Structure 1
Amino acid sequence: MGLFDFAKDIGHRLFSEEGQAARKIEEHINDNNPGIKNLKVDYRDSIAYLSGEADSAEALQKAALMAGNIKGVEAVKVEGVKLPAGVSSPQAVETFGNMQYYTIQAGDTLSKIAQQFYKDPNKYSKIFEANREVIKDPDLIFPGQKIRIPTEH
């Protein structure tokens, strides 16, 4: 699935040994829980497998981005997550709410990305708010990081 593929060598380093990866990824998501109950993470061959119950498609999107933006994670599989009624598949999560996704490039800032998508660099906070679980500081983003871009209403 396109949304759930990531750059393995880019992101925050949370673990140094594969044996601690699942626990560290699970703790990371639970610390900023976007709405996943009974979250369990399995990690093997650079893939994070999530299971649990999502409160919404947005919660699952955020959890997938949180796991995928960790150094060492190449892909996130979410087939084990139960979705709310009306969201029938993980593929539906990729397009939920007309959300776009963007991979940060070298030289990008949130203002530059806001200019690209909204024609107004001052709307960077809209992007920051949509990605609070992934971006802790709007001045600290990195190339290869995948983020959500909310559509403008």
Structure 2
Amino acid sequence: MGLFDFASNLGKKLFGNDEDPAEKIQEHIEADNPGVDALSITVENGVASVSGSAKDQAAYEKAILMAGNVEGITEVNADALAFTGPEIKVEYYTIQSGDSLWKIAQQHLGNGNLYTKIFEENKEVIKDPDLIYPGQKIRIPLEG
């Protein structure tokens, strides 16, 4: 699927100037591993390259979002990250100021009460459904 863009000045602050960004991002993903084996991260000039084998499309996308929603990362290259299984239709959404998961569910799924579905599909990306921030990217499965 290739290259994914992110806002470099937004996101979770994981590392400082004296820390290895690749190591910190890898630790971050492995802490709540969405289902990626042989995970490896490299970072160069704000681009995080993710490699490994994801158990399915959801794990693939969550690993990319977890890497990209980190302050200082502008792009995620997923050329070396593979997944098996069927491909499902997914929409990526960038959180805007004033958004809530309920509002996003209402807009994209037609029912605000389905915010729990969005949260469950992003639980490795969003730790608390009440703590989302502008610029954060999430996935909204449109099937299943």
2-structure distance, mates of 1:147, 1:80 = 21
Judging changes above 3 Å, is the alpha-carbon distance between structure 1 residues 132 and 25 closer, same or farther for their aligned structure 2 residues? same
Q: Deviations over 1:23-63 (max 9, x none)?
A: 00000111111111111110010000111222222211110
Alignment match of 2:90 (pick from 88, 99, 106): 99
Considering fraction of residues, name the structure with more strand: 2
User: 1:113 — aligned with what?
Assistant: 104
2:74 corresponding residue in structure 1: 74
Structure 2 segments unaligned to the other structure (5+ residues): none
CA 1:43–1:19 in 2, change beyond 3 Å: closer, same or farther? farther
Which of structure 1's runs of 4+ aligned residues deviate more than 6 A? none
Structure with the largest fraction of helix: 1
Percent identity for Structure 1 against Structure 2? 51
Partners of 2:67 and 2:30 lie apart in 1 by 11
**Structure 1's 118 and 52: CA in aligned 2 closer, same or farther, altered over 3 A?**
closer
TM-score (norm 1): 0.87
Structure 1's unaligned 5+ residue stretches are 88-95
Normalised by the size of structure 2, how large is the TM-score?
0.92
Find out whether 1:131 has 2:119 as its counterpart. Answer: no
